[in-house]
Every structure is written in structure tokens, then in C-alpha cells.
Amino acid sequence: MYLGIDGGGTRCRARIEDENGSVLGVANSGPATMRIGFERAWRSIMEATEAAAAQAGLTGEDFARMYAGIGLADAAFAPIVMRHANQGDPVGRRIVERAADAIGDLLDLFLARGIDRLSLVGGLADVITPWLTPDLRARLKSPDADAAAGALLVARGRLDLPKRETDHEQTSKFRV
């Protein structure tokens, strides 16, 4: 199963599909943009995910078989902040550094769960990438489609996931 997250500035949309692309569950929650902070964005992601899973009749155990792709939204004033940061403005640089750190934390979370191929999507993907650590930049892959479709494409077999030797060793790629 595959989970696609389109985390926007006004709402977060979660869609769960099976291996054939059939939609099993769809749900929305509140905003999931990094401008509201990692914890609040993650809470919205989880609310939408849990509602989509409930609609699909899935349980917590089903998440052990699920792969997730997530795209998060930017803030409307971000291009102005980016321009100032790139011109060396100390306040602009600090804002962008903090945003890059938050995105890096989220990417590190996925890496810790065994997801080692990642894509950034959305209006700020190209401009925030240079602010990420060299290690994270090296792991990024160009997106294949829009945020929701791209999240599903990334989750669907475009991940080089570690192989497990036994069933009891399999762990969830996404925690509920």
C-alpha cells in the first residue's frame, strides 16, 4: 500500500492506494506547512493519514506494509525572505537556515525509517535545496509529478528500501 501526502498551507490531504492504484481512503486535515512548525505540521499529517486509514478500514498493523511520500507547502512571503537571505541579510539567512533545519529533520526522520530516496516538491523545493546539508542534497531525487501524485510515485517502488531477512524484523516505514 502507498500513502501520498499533499501538505498545504490551508489543508493537508492524505490518499492511500493499493498496488494497482485503486484509492482505498482519502482524508483532509488542517494545514501542514513548515511555517507552522514541525510538530503542528506532523500532527496534521497524522490526522489526515489516520482518517484515510479509517476510511480504508486499515489498522495500525497495516502501516508496516505501507510506503509514504510527503510534500509540504511553503509560506507566501518565502520568496522575499529567500531573496534577502541570498543577499546576505542576517535575519533572512537565519529564517532560511531554520526552515532548512526543519526540512532536514523531517528528511532525517524518513532516512531513519529506511527511506533513503527523497524528493522535495513545491514552490520552494529548488531554492531551499542549497541550504540543506550536503548529505541530504546528495540523497534528493527530482520529483516525477505534482505533490499528491509525486508523493504516491515516490512511495510506489521508487524507494530503495532495505530488505528484511524475516517477517518479524519488518518495521513500519511510517508510524501511526
pLDDT interval class at 54 (50, 70, 90): very high
Structural domain range at position 31: 2-160
| Tens-place pLDDT, residues 85-100 | 999 988 889 889 988 9
When divided into structural domains, the chain yields a total of 1
Do residues 103 and 58 touch, judged by C-beta distance below 8 A?
no
Q: Please tell me whether residue 114 adopts helix, strand or coil conformation.
A: coil
Residue 73 · residue 32 · CB < 8 Å: yes
pLDDT at position 13 is: 92
Asked whether residue 47 is domain-assigned, the answer is yes
The candidate with the shortest Cα–Cα distance to 110, out of 65, 74, 161, 157, is 161
The three cell numbers of residue 94 are 537565519
Residue 165 in any domain: the answer is: no
**Residue 38 pLDDT:** 78
Q: Which amino acid is at 48?
A: A
CATH of the domain at 146: 3.30.420.40
**Do the domain assignments include residue 6?**
yes
Residue 116 lies in a domain: yes
Residue 77 pLDDT class (50, 70, 90 cuts): low
As a whole number, the mean pLDDT across the chain is: 80
In this predicted model, what pLDDT tens digit does every residue of 22-46 receive, in sequence order? Answer: 999 999 999 988 778 878 888 898 8
pTM over 0.85: no
Asked, for residue 123, whether it belongs to a domain, the answer is yes
Alpha-carbon span 176 to 115, nearest angstrom:
16
